[in-house]
Amino acid sequence: MPPINDALTKYGSVFQTKIITSLLEDQQFAVTIYDMLQPELLDTEAKQWLVKAIKDYYYEYKLTPSLQTLKIRLNEVSSDLLRDSIVDELREVTKNIESPDLDFVKNETITFCKNQTLKAAIVKSVDLLQEGQYDEIKRLVDNAMRAGTHRDVGLNYIEQFDSILEDINRDTTPTGWEPIDSIMDGGLAGGELGVVVAPSGIGKSWFLQALAVNALKAGKNVIHYTLELNEAYVGLRFATIFSEVPVANIKDDKESVKEKIKKLCKGELIIKYFPTRGATVQTIHTHLKTIELMGNSPDLILVDYADLLRDTSSARDAAVRHQLGNIYEDLRGLSGEFQIPVWTASQSNRSSLEDEVIGAEKIAESYSKIMTADFVMSLSRKIEDKIANTGRVHVIKNRFGPDGMTYPLTMNTSIGKMDIYDSASTNGQVEIKKQDNGNEYTRKLLAKKYEDLKTTTGESKKDETKWKNFETN
């Protein structure tokens, strides 16, 4: 890397004068650079005045001013010293009109603007650092790093039609469950947000981790952000899913579990804990930047779960739906910036606990979440489902294809094993039968509890008959 002074000299006074020459002699270049080239990016007051005068003239007349026009505008300058400096600068500008390196200057002007913008942000950050205004420092630096990215004016439909056909193939990370991947056109891609909805205690976290394990088995690198459980316990759950050994038995079977993980886990997994309501999307953003600097490149991000993040962009007394809306929008923006798919979970309301299928109306503060997400599916497991290790996955929203379908699910949280079946498949029918068996088993458990209760309280014959009627229904 060249010394800093060399880099600064490269874009020093002579270079900046040639930028002004290029503005005057090449209107097409001037138009493309105007928005980015701010007068304050140049080093001297004379250069700043000339850039501003050229830009102002263009915005008023849609033409680049001539040298004669600029000389006339010099009459507006009240300071003799500044006027003399501008005249001297114009002499240098005219000398460069035939310069052979103007094409080089034009090509380097964007880099110059970015460097100057970043330099200004760093200088301003010194005072902000003393004041502890870290959010403002980050905003300044982020804006500086994004300088020039707005120059993309859009897609020329006819000229770039071939690129449409190329871009239509999304670089997806599959869920690992064929029925879901088939309707998602392969899974989630960078810039996309997927949401799993379920009531408390149904297995949202297990579901997300199983999804992550499927990606890891396929060689994808995964970052799992946990906002409830600590890193060690989440790690134990991952070990259970890989090995199908219950969490309580992992320590007793440590070596064999470790070998199974090494054999099956083809990607890298990072687990990061943030306290509930103690992290924001910006916190995750900062962590991802750190990961990048370390040379890691994740393919999938899981946030367990988004409702536990803290919103900083709304007023403190803003409605919960506004806060959650901002969080989900920021998460999707995060996915777009890093081009990494993001999966998260969301809580449904209490009334959904006994729902056969959980629809959009049961999602807490649902509207903003559904509008923002690209794919939303619910997970429903009644008490009989939990006993039979079954359940249902319902597709609420699918930006990539059809929605409204419901698929049978097996979900054994003791070993973290789960599968999703096509509802028309043989396996799917088998799982539906398992669910029916679960219903029967539940009735037997309740009957046993009743018998125990009757023994201790002396239930009447009438109540016994009523219970037997219930048992057979």
Residue 380: DSSP 8-state: E
Residues 315 and 398 in one domain: yes
Is the pTM for the entire model greater than 0.85? no
Domain tally for the chain? 3
| Alpha carbon distance 378, 393 (integer Å) | 6
Domain residues for the domain of 227 are 172-433
- 165 part of a folded domain: no
Residues 206 and 262 in one domain: yes
Residue 356: DSSP 8-state: S
Residues 414 and 458 in one domain: no
Residue 445 CB neighbours (<10 A): 13
What is the separation of C-alpha 1 from the centre of its chain, rounded to a whole number of angstroms?
Answer: 33
Residues 347 and 214 in one domain: yes
Residue 272: DSSP 8-state: E
- C-alpha triplet 396, 183, 425: angle, nearest 5°: 100
Q: Given this model, what pLDDT does residue 222 score?
A: 96
Residues 446 and 380 in one domain: no
Residues 411 and 454 in one domain: no
Q: Which residue has the higher pLDDT, 458 or 156?
A: 156
- 159 part of a folded domain: no
- Residue 208's closest CA among 189, 190, 229, 191? 229
Tokens for 308? 């536990």
| Alpha carbon distance 290, 281 (integer Å) | 14
pLDDT tens digit sequence for 46-69 = 999 999 999 888 877 778 888 889
Residues 258 and 351 in one domain: yes
pLDDT band at 470 (very low <50, low <70, confident <90, very high): very low
pLDDT tens digit sequence for 347-369 = 888 878 888 898 888 886 667 78
Q: Any alpha helices (H) in 62-177, and if so which ranges?
A: 67-73, 80-95, 102-131, 134-145, 161-167
Residue 171 CB neighbours (<10 A): 11
Residues 421 and 464 in one domain: no
Residue 65: DSSP 8-state: P
pLDDT band at 5 (very low <50, low <70, confident <90, very high): very low
In sequence order, what are the beta bridge partners of 177?
Answer: none
Q: Given this model, what pLDDT does residue 290 score?
A: 86
Residues 351 and 422 in one domain: yes
Residues 256 and 380 in one domain: yes
We report the CATH number of the domain holding residue 61 as 1.10.860
Mean pLDDT over 279-301 rounds to: 88
Residues 126 and 216 in one domain: no
- 164 part of a folded domain: no
Residues 258 and 353 in one domain: yes
- Residue 471's closest CA among 454, 448, 455, 452? 448
pLDDT tens digit sequence for 418-444 = 999 987 665 555 555 555 555 555 555
Helix (H) or strand (E) holding 377, with range, is: strand 375-380
- 290 part of a folded domain: yes
Estimate the crossing angle of helix 80-95 against helix 45-61, to 10 degrees: 80
